[in-house]
Amino acid sequence: MKRGVGYCENTDCEDYAKGVFLLNHGDTFYCPRCRQLGKVEKERGFYTGNSDIFKEVRVEYNFDPINGVYREIAIVRDESLWGRNNVYTLQSPLIKTEKRALKVAEAILANLNRYRGLLNGDDIPRTTEIIRSLDAPARDVARPVTEHSTPSDARTPVAQRS
């Protein structure tokens, strides 16, 4: 599931720089109001390091569509870990506030370490809205999850590592 925001780039349009939520969308976005070609900013994640433990998650948020930059960054770090550990970065145009960014960063950090090794390619770890899907058995984690998952959906407990 790829999420993103489409922005109108027509300064004469009432919806200029106003975001439209996009799900599994391509790279072409037309403003629904003025019908001109706008631009798409997709949520993306990447990491540095090659250990399989993540110590730090950075969430870049408060995207500025006019300058094409993320204005702020929230960092959550697990100080109980030492040595060389990976740092994961999420850039999301969907996150606007620090409170939300910190919550998402915390959820990602917990999930990366719980399901380590499951991250491949440009997958984005689950964040809070869909966190319950993490209770699914590991083989199901990569399956697409819709916003409409019901609470009864795949709640098989996963053994805690100690």
Residues that bind Zn ion (CB under 5 A): 8, 10, 13, 15, 31, 33-34
Specify the residue for token string 């409409």: 148
Of the two residues 66 and 142, which places its CB atom closer to Zn ion in the complex?
A: 66
**Least distance from C-beta 64 to Zn ion, angstroms?**
17
* Residue 136 phi, psi dihedral angles, 5° rounding: -70, 155
**Least distance from C-beta 116 to Zn ion, angstroms?**
43
Of the two residues 8 and 124, which places its CB atom closer to Zn ion in the complex?
A: 8
**C-alpha of 90 from chain center:** 6
**Least distance from C-beta 91 to Zn ion, angstroms?**
24
Between CA 130 and CA 147 the distance in angstroms is 7
Between CA 43 and CA 22 the distance in angstroms is 10
Of the two residues 16 and 88, which places its CB atom closer to Zn ion in the complex?
A: 16
